[in-house]
Chains A and B, each alone.
Chain A
C-alpha cells in the first residue's frame, strides 16, 4: 500500500511521506479495590504528508484502506498553505533500526494486567487508605515511516502503565508509573506511594503565608516545565514572538550549574528511537548548559521557514498526527544534594499547573500532597496552600537536585530544591 501511495503521489506533489501505525492494547480499571472494566483496543492510523511547491499538506485516517481519499485531502490542504523554502524530506541515513523501547515479553493479555493490578494493590496496603480508582494497561505498536526520498524505517514499541488513586478521610494520594520494560515498572511502589500520600496527608496543619524553601517533586516540576519552559524552547514560538527565551541565546537563563538537554538515547527514556517523527537521525540537543541558553528545537518545516538547522525534534502527537516540534527525553541536571536534609516545604503535585501564563511564566496554583520535610525525611503534612512564582525565575532558584530521578512522559527529572518562594496559606 505504501508504494501505491507514493506512486499516486508522484504525479501530484514534489515530496511525500507516509506514517503507518498499528497498535493494540489491553487495560484493567479499578473502581475502588475491584476490577470493574476490562478494555481492549485495536487501531491503525495512516498519516500522509505531501509537499508541493513548498506548500505542506497533511491528512490522516484511521482506515488505511481509504488511503486514496486521505491522499486527496492531503494534496487539497497544500492549496492554501503558506509556501516555504522547502529543501526536501530526509534521505535514508545509516542508522541502527533495532527497536530501543520494545520488550518482547510484553503482550497485551489479561494475565499481565491482572498481575500488575494485584502487585499494585499489594503495595497499596503499606499504609491505611482506601483505593478509589486505578488502572493497569499494556500496549504494543508497530510503525513504518516512509518517504519519497527512500526512507523506510520500521519500529516496534511496548508500553506498560499503572496508576492508583487513594483516599484516607479527606486526604488523597495519586501515583503512576510507566515503562516500556517489564523490569522497570514498579507497581508495588506505585501502590505504596499512593497509600503514603493519602494516609500520611491526613490531619495536616494550615501553613502560614510567607516565604519558604520549596522542594518540587519531579511530578510537580514537570507540570511547570510543560506549562512554559517547553513551549519557550520551540523554534516556532521563538520565531513567532511567543517565547520568553527568544532573544536570550547566550544569556544566563538558569542557575550556573543547571543544564537542560534533550537526550534521545538516555536509557531512562520511555520511547527512544534512532529517528524523529520525520525520519531525521536524532541527536543530543543542549538547550541550557551551565545556566546559559544554547539552542532551540526545530522540525523541518520551522527550520526551512526560518533558515535554521533542523534538530530532529519532530514528534507525532495531536489529532492530525502531523509532525510537530517536541522533545524526546528532556533531562534536567544540577548539583546533587539531599533535598530533604534541611527544613522545607515538599510539594508532590499541583492543582492547576496548566493555568500558568505560558508566555511570562507567572503562576499561582494550589498544592497537592504538601509536607514539611527536614532531617532527610517527611516531617508533617500541610493541609492546603497556594504557591505563587514565575517558572523562568524558578530556574535561577534551584539550589540542588535529588540523585533519584523519575521519567514522566518525555521528561527525566529529579526533585528540585528551590529557595524563597511565596506560599499563601489559610492559617
Chain B
C-alpha cells in the first residue's frame, strides 16, 4: 500500500435484471441484462475515499491493492477527520422463496403477464401497461477488520397501470406488488382488475376541496407518512449535518403518546437487509416509542458522531457508496378499529393509496399524494374524490394523530434519497389526524 488508511470495505454486487414490458397487450420488451459493480471505501487520514468500478473480477479474499490505493488516493481531497464506530456484526439468513423466479421460464412469465393484461381490460379502459422486474443479486462484502459475508437475494415484482377515459376525462388506476418471497405474478388478476376498476371509478370522482380538516390515512398512505415525515428526519446523516428537525429532540415527546414508529431491516419484507451494506448487523430500531423520540438510524460514521440509535441502517445501490437509509418502516398498531376511526372523524376526508411523497427534513415540511379519497360526512364515507394530497409540518402533525388503528399493513416500494433507489417497505394501520392540511384543486 502506498497510501495510508485506517479502514476499508469492499462491496461487490453481481446481478442479472429481467424486465418485461407489456403495453396494451403487446410485449415491448422481455429480456435480461447483466451487471457486476464494486465499490471500495477507504477511510484515509481524514475522510472517506470511494472508488467505484464496474465489470471487474474482484477477488474478495485477496482484494486488489491497487484499487484500495486508488480509493485511498481519492480521500486525499477531504479535509475533515472522520471516525467510525465498531458495530455489531452478523447476518440474518435469507428466507426461502416459495417459487424461485429463476426457475420459471421467460415464456411463462410473459404468458402470466398477458393474462394480467386481460384482467385490466374493460369498458372505458383505453390503455393498460404491465411491467415486471426481477433482480437476482449476489452480494459479497469484506472489510479490513476481517468481516466477510455473502448472500444471494432475488427481488421481483410487477405493476399494473390502467387508464380510463370518458367524455374528455382521463384517469388512472395503479397497483403494484414487490417481494423477496419468490415469483408473485401467479393468480394476481384481482390486482389488475382493481387497477382498471379504480381508473373507471375516478372518472366519476369529484375534485377534492383543499383546506384544513380532519383526515384519515389508509395504511398505505400512513406508511408513506411514517417514511417521509419521520423516517427521513431520523436518519443520522441528516441529523449530523443539521438538516433535520429531529436534531436535539432525543428523549422528548414529539407526537401522540400512542405513537410508535420503527424501522426494521431484519424483517423479511421487501426492504429486508440480511446485513447492511457496511457489514453491520441489522435489527429493529424504534424511532419513536409512545410519542417520545427514542433512536436515530445510523451508519458506523453517524453512530460515532451523533449517537442515540442503532447502526445497521447503511445501504447503497450496487457500485455506489452506502448512506443512511430506511428499510421496513412502519407505525405500530394501536387499538382503534377502522369503523371507530371513521366514526370519530365525523366530518373530514379518507385518503387512500399513494402516488409518492417528498420531505424537506431541515425545514420539517412534507408532502404526499393519495391516489384517491372519500369525503367523510356524519361519520360515514360519501363522495369519492380524486387528486388529493396532504402536506404539513412534521412536528406539528405528529401531535395531531388522535387515533391509531389495529390493522397494520405493509406496502413495498422504492426510496430515492441521494439519487439512489433502494427497495423499502412502508406500513401503518389507519390513522386519524386532526387539522390536516389537504390539497385539492377547489378552495373555499
Contacts and interface: CB of A to CB of B under 8 A. Distances in A.
B48 A36 contact: yes
Interface string A307-336: 000000000000110100000000000000
Contacts of A43: 52-55, 319
Contacts of B360: 172, 351, 368
B31 A57 contact: yes
B61 interface: no
A365 B391 CA distance: 8
Interface in B188-208: 207-208
B163 A364 contact: no
A240 B161 CA distance: 12
Nearest to B36: A63
A351 B359 contact: yes
Contacts of B409: none
B23 interface: yes
B330 interface: no
The 10 closest A-B pairs by CB, nearest first: A77-B31, A364-B439, A63-B55, A34-B80, A241-B127, A355-B369, A352-B367, A241-B126, A62-B54, A38-B77
B82 interface: yes
Contacts of A31: 80, 237, 240-241
Contacts of A57: 31
Given A61-B55, A63-B36, A426 B437 contact: yes
Interface in B105-140: 106-107, 110, 126-127, 129
A79 B388 CA distance: 43
A165 B358 contact: no
Interface stretch (A281-289, A372-380, A383-391): A383-391
B50 A39 contact: yes
Given A39-B51, A133-B243, A58 B29 contact: yes
A360 B363 contact: no
A365 B243 contact: no
5 contacts: A38-B74, A40-B51, A352-B368, A360-B170, A363-B369
A61 B29 CA distance: 17
Given A32-B241, A38-B49, A40-B71, A352 B357 contact: yes
Contacts of A230: none
A37 B387 contact: no
Contacts of A59: 31-34
B26 interface: yes
A386 B391 contact: yes
Contacts of A94: none
B32 A73 contact: yes
Interface stretch (A8-16, A64-72, A213-221): A64-72
Contact of B388 (A165, A364, A368): A364
A144 interface: no
Contacts of B20: 80
A357 interface: yes
Contacts of A366: 358, 365-367, 391
Given A74-B31, A241-B126, A362 B386 contact: yes
Given A40-B52, A77-B30, A130-B242, 19 more contacts: A31-B237, A37-B48, A39-B321, A42-B54, A62-B37, A73-B34, A80-B27, A110-B76, A244-B170, A319-B33, A351-B365, A352-B391, A354-B358, A355-B357, A356-B369, A357-B387, A360-B169, A390-B441, A422-B210
Given A43-B54, A167-B243, A424-B439, A355 B212 contact: no
A319 B17 contact: yes
A3 to B, nearest CB: 20
A181 interface: no
B444 interface: yes
A160 to B, nearest CB: 15
Interface in B344-403: 355-360, 362-369, 386-389, 391, 393
Contacts of B73: 40
Given A35-B79, A358-B172, A424-B210, A63 B34 contact: yes
Nearest to A364: B439
What is the size category of the interface that chain B forms with chain A? 35 or more
A158 B35 CA distance: 24
Contact of A422 (B126, B359, B443): B443
A113 interface: yes
Contacts of B366: 351, 366
Find the residue from B53, B54, B70 having the highest chain A CB count within 10 A.
B54
A76 B31 contact: yes
A385 B237 CA distance: 27
Nearest to B53: A42
A60 B33 contact: yes
Nearest to A349: B360
B337 interface: no
A26 interface: yes
A363 B388 CA distance: 8
Given A60-B33, A209-B211, A426-B437, A242 B127 contact: yes
A419 interface: no
A44 interface: yes
B19 interface: yes
A393 B387 CA distance: 15
Contacts of B241: 31-32, 132-133
Contact of A170 (B51, B363, B367, B440): B363
Contact of A73 (B33, B126, B389): B33
Nearest to B238: A132
Most chain A CB within a 10 A radius of its CB, from B31, B79, B107, B165:
B31
Contacts of B37: 62
B242 A58 contact: no
A28 interface: yes
A267 interface: no
Interface string A403-427: 0000000000000000000101010
Contact of B27 (A66, A82, A171, A355): A82
Contacts of B55: 43-44, 61-66
B237 to A, nearest CB: 8
Contacts of A357: 171-172, 355, 386-387
B82 A36 contact: yes
A317 B441 CA distance: 34
Interface string A266-303: 00000000000000000000000000000000000100
For B35, B76, B208, the residue with the greatest tally of chain A CB atoms inside 10 Å of its CB is B35
A346 B204 CA distance: 34
A343 interface: no
A114 interface: yes
A176 to B, nearest CB: 12
A41 B51 contact: yes
Given A132-B241, A172-B362, A364 B369 contact: yes
Interface string B24-68: 101111111111110000000001111111111000000000000
A5 interface: no
Given A28-B77, A35-B79, A63-B55, A364 B387 contact: yes
B144 interface: no
Contacts of A2: none
A165 B243 CA distance: 9
B443 A41 contact: no
